[in-house]
C-alpha cells in the first residue's frame, strides 16, 4: 500500500529555531561515532510543525432535478460540512519565512498554522502548490529573521549514502530518524513526474513535507510517501528529490503557479514483441497511442504508432523520459523529435504548447 504521509489522508501520505538565520552548515559533517547530534542542532530549528483545518464535505448530494421546496426540506435534515484537521511537516528556506511542504498537506486548507521548534506560532499563507510533484510553498511573517536550511543537490547522492529525516510523525514534534538512500528514481505511480528517492529512514504519518538531509545538513529530499501494509513505517519511504523541489519552488515564488510544456500526445510503452522485431535487446522508447487535435504534436505531424526515440537531445528510454523532457520546456520553445515510422527514422520540428494547470 502506497500512502501519502499527512495524518488527515485516508491513505498514509508521509507528512513529516532561534539560531542564526542561516542554519545549514557550510562544511560537511563527518558523522561521529556518537551520532548526528551536531547536525540536528544545526538544522532542526528550521523544521516546522504544520496544522491544517479544512472542511469535510457533507456525505450526500441531492439530485439536480429535485423540486426546490423538497430540496430545502432535505437540506435542512442533512449533515452540513464539518471542520477537520490534518498534521504535517515543513521546512523554512529563507529568513523572511518561506516554507516548503507537500501539496497534500495543505490541499483544500481553510487555515494553516505553523509552529516552530521554540514554540512560536504563525498563521501561514499558501503562496502556491503543484499537485503534479506534490510540492507547496507557504509564507509566514515574523518581526525577526527566521532560521532556515538550504537545498543540496540530489543528483549527486548515491545509493547507500546516509540520510537524516526530521519531522513530526503522529504529531510528535522534532522527531529525528536516520538511514540510507535505498534507491533512486523510483516510480510509485503517484503522478507523471515520479522519480522519488527511496529511503529506509523511518517516516510515518505527519512526516509529510519534512526534509531529508545529507551529512552536510543540506536538504536532498522532501519526505512524501511510504509503502506500508499497516499504516506505519516498514522501512520503505519516498522523498521528492531536492533538484525537483528547488525548481518547482522557484516557479511558485514567481506567481504561485508552475509552467510546463505541452506536446499533446498519449503514449504507451513499446511491447517486447515490437522490440524484438526492431532488434532491441529490450523494450525502449515511447509509442504514440493518440495525438490530440489542434495540439503541437498534430501540427508537427506526429501520428499514432510513431516510436519516439529522442526529444530535443534527450534519449527516450521510458515514458517518464518524454514526460519530463516536454514538461521542462517553456511554451513557444522550438524542439526536434526523432521518431521511427514504418522502419524509417524521421525528424520533426515542433513548437511547444502550454500545459493546462492542475487544480491544487
Q: Mind telling me the catalytic residues?
A: 104, 134, 208
200 torsion bin: left (phi>0), alpha (psi -120 to 50), beta (else) = alpha
Q: What share of the chain is helix, strand, coil (3-state, %, to 5)?
A: 20, 35, 45
DSSP-derived pairing of the beta strands 219-227 and 334-341: unpaired
**What does the H/E/C string look like for 319-350?**
HHHHHHHHHCCCCCCEEEEEEEECCEEEEEEE
Cα separation, 334 vs 346, whole angstroms: 17
Contacts of 96 (CB under 8 A, 6+ apart): 145, 146
Tell me the CA distances in angstroms from 125 to 24, 86, 109, one per residue in order.
Answer: 24, 16, 10
Q: Please give the grid coordinates belonging to residue 291.
A: 495525438
Q: Would you give the end-to-end CA distance of the chain in angstroms? A: 23
Written as nine digits, the cell of 132 is 503534479
CA angle 18, 20, 23 (to 5 degrees): 95
Tell the residue number behind the cell numbers 505511480, with chain if given.
Answer: 189
Amino acid at each position: 500500500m502506497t500512502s501519502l504521509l499527512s495524518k488527515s489522508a485516508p491513505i498514509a501520505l508521509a507528512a513529516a529555531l532561534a539560531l542564526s538565520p542561516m542554519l545549514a552548515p557550510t562544511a560537511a559533517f563527518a558523522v561521529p561515532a556518537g551520532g548526528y547530534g551536531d547536525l540536528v542542532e544545526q538544522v532542526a530549528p528550521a523544521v516546522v510543525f504544520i496544522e491544517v483545518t479544512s472542511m469535510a464535505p457533507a456525505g450526500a448530494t441531492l439530485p439536480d432535478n429535485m423540486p426546490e421546496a423538497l430540496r430545502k426540506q432535505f437540506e435542512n435534515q442533512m449533515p452540513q460540512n464539518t471542520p477537520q484537521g490534518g498534521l504535517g511537516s515543513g521546512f523554512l528556506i529563507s529568513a523572511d519565512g518561506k516554507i516548503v511542504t507537500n501539496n497534500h498537506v495543505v490541499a483544500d486548507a481553510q487555515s494553516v498554522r505553523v509552529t516552530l521548534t521554540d514554540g512560536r506560532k504563525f498563521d501561514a499563507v499558501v503562496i502556491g502548490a503543484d499537485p503534479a510533484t506534490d510540492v507547496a510553498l507557504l509564507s509566514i511573517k515574523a518581526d525577526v529573521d527566521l532560521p532556515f536550511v538550504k537545498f543540496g543537490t540530489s543528483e549527486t547522492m548515491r545509493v547507500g549514502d546516509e540520510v537524516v529525516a526530521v519531522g513530526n510523525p503522529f504529531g510528535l514534534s522534532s522527531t529525528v530518524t536516520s538511514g540510507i538512500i535505498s534507491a533512486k528514481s523510483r516510480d510509485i505511480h503517484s503522478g507523471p513526474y515520479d522519480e522519488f528517492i527511496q529511503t529506509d529512514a523511518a517516516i510515518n504519518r505527519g512526516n509529510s513535507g519534512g526534509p531529508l538531509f545529507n551529512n552536510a545538513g543540506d536538504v536532498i529530499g522532501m519526505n512524501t510517501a511510504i509503502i506500508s501494509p499497516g499504516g506505519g513505517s516498514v522501512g520503505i519511504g519516498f522523498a521528492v528529490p531536492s533538484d525537483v523541489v528547488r525548481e518547482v519552488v522557484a516557479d511558485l515564488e514567481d506567481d504561485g503557479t508552475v509552467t510546463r510544456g505541452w506536446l499533446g500526445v498519449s503514449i504507451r510503452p513499446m511491447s517486447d514483441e515490437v522490440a524484438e522485431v526492431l532488434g532491441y535487446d529490450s523494450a525502449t522508447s515511447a509509442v504514440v497511442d493518440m495525438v490530440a487535435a489542434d495540439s503541437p504534436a498534430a501540427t508537427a505531424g506526429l501520428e499514432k504508432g510513431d516510436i519516439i526515440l529522442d526529444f530535443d537531445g534527450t534519449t527516450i528510454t521510458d515514458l517518464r523520459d518524454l514526460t519530463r523532457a516536454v514538461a521542462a520546456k517553456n511554451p513557444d520553445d522550438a524542439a526536434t523529435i526523432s521518431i521511427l515510422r514504418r522502419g524509417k527514422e524521421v525528424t520533426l520540428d515542433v513548437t511547444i504548447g502550454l500545459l493546462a494547470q492542475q487544480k491544487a
